[in-house]
Amino acid sequence: MQPLPSQRAFCKAVNTPPSPPPRSQGPHEAYSRAGGPLKAPTSPPTTTSTTTTTTTIQGPLAAKRPPYRCPLPESCNVYGFTDWYKVGKHCVKYFNNYLNFTDAEFSCRAKAPGAHLVSVHSEEHNGLLLRIVKKFNPNDLRFWLGGFEFFETGKFSWTDGSFWDFQVWTRGEPSIYTSAEECVEMNWKEIGRWNDDDCYAKKNYMCAFKRNTILKPGSEKME
Ligand SMILES: [Ca+2]
């Protein structure tokens, strides 16, 4: 497993995302990689397992800037799901439980109404998922996303049925000529980037459901 990036570099990557590919990009273009991949991390993490991680900036800037904060997303304020996190219009939760892709997807469906493995549609949200897994399992960041290759076509889809409008593959991925690798994970070789892997491989996973699936307008402050 690759070492993790420094906390500061990680937060910087999340807070200053590169431009995503145009939304007009269709599944048929799934062969191309989106944007420039992150450089391989070179240093281990300095701080882990806190709700809000603070990294002190060293050097001459230390006296001029406040501590660098890299907070988790907000808690999902939905009754019964406050241990899930808000990521866009979804509530998201990480599960430290090794399952193959299909079992992970069905596990998600059982966790909440309308839940599936998580789909990703922006660099910002990709970064938020990375923060979550970094908090809950900093020593094993690989986890299943909900992406899968559709019948060896080289076209990818999400298990929640949302449009494939964003992708951040690790350099050299996806392995579209390897039929054994059809399911999408994050953090294999490059932190925050994706790889297609054997769907039977067992990995941790992240589930998501649309907040308005459970939450009716005006009922957010149920707790
Ligand atoms: Ca692959």
* CA atoms within 13 A of residue 159's CA, in its CB half-sphere: 26
pLDDT band at 144 (very low <50, low <70, confident <90, very high): very high
Distance 80 CA to ligand 1 centre (A): 36
Distance 54 CA to ligand 1 centre (A): 34
Q: How far is CA 96 from the centre of its chain?
A: 14
Give this prediction's pTM: 0.70
Distance 27 CA to ligand 1 centre (A): 17
Distance 187 CA to ligand 1 centre (A): 12
Distance 130 CA to ligand 1 centre (A): 19
pLDDT in tens, 178-195: 779 999 999 999 999 999
Burial 83-103 (b: 16+ CB within 10 A, else e): ebbbbbebbbbbbeeebbbeb
Burial 64-79 (b: 16+ CB within 10 A, else e): eeeeeebebbeebbbe
pLDDT value, residue 220:
53
Domain boundaries, the chain: 7-18+45-214
Percent of the chain, pLDDT > 90?
A: 58
* Dist. CA 166–CA 32, nearest whole Å: 11
* Dist. CA 34–CA 22, nearest whole Å: 10
Q: How far is CA 60 from the centre of its chain?
A: 34
Q: Which residues surround ligand 1, an ion (CB under 5 A)?
A: 173, 175, 181, 195-196
Task: Mention the CATH class of domain 7-18+45-214.
Answer: alpha beta
pLDDT in tens, 146-172: 999 998 899 999 999 999 999 999 999
